Amino acid sequence: MNNPVTKSPVMLYTEQTPNPESLKFVTNRMLFRGTADFRDQEMALEWSPLATALFELPYVKGVYICNNFVTITKEMNYEWADLMLKLKEFVKKYVEDGGEILKEGFEEAMAKIEEERGAGYEYSGDDVEIVKKIRDLIDTYVKPAVEMDGGNIEFKLWDKGTVVLTMQGACSGCPSST
């Protein structure tokens, strides 16, 4: 006799973010260990079936995937009251159906792009220790808080007392992040 495999249900809830145009959709499933930020449909088409499906909706402006959540940024001329339930059901069904989140090779491709953009900048002397301390502070104190808000913060470079960071997800374009 064949016993059907019972899938555990996908639980999903939403959290507001400081960015009024972004909403965080949190699941009880690991979607992707890492971060994936899609600000346009072109990149989504290449790397993320989930983001591609979301961009097909006329009100989706950005998709950010991290660990067990998806942060969706909407177009300004739409209201969350009209979209939240639709998007919640969409994401829940997509995850329940086992939809592909990211294509194979995504992490390697993004690492290569970052290296080409200068993320692999070499530091020497005292700068090595300064950059290590900056990265540690960001990873320990800033990144967890930013993730809770549906986004991410990435260290880009340090140059003569200036730290350059990239904000992703709900934090990209948020009035609170400037």
Kindly list the structural domains of the chain, giving each domain's residue range(s) and its CATH number in brackets, ordered by start.
12-109 (3.30.1370.70), 117-177 (no CATH)
Question: What is the tens place of the pLDDT at every residue in 100-127?
Answer: 999 999 988 888 777 666 555 677 778 7
Question: What is the tens place of the pLDDT at every residue in 56-96?
Answer: 999 999 999 999 999 999 999 999 999 999 999 999 999 99
CA pair distance 84, 90, nearest whole angstrom: 10
Specify the pTM. 0.76
Residues 6+ apart with CB under 8 A from 82: none
Flag whether pLDDT at 2 surpasses 80: no
The dihedral built from the CA positions of residue 38, 40, 45 and 51, taken in this order, carries a sign that is positive
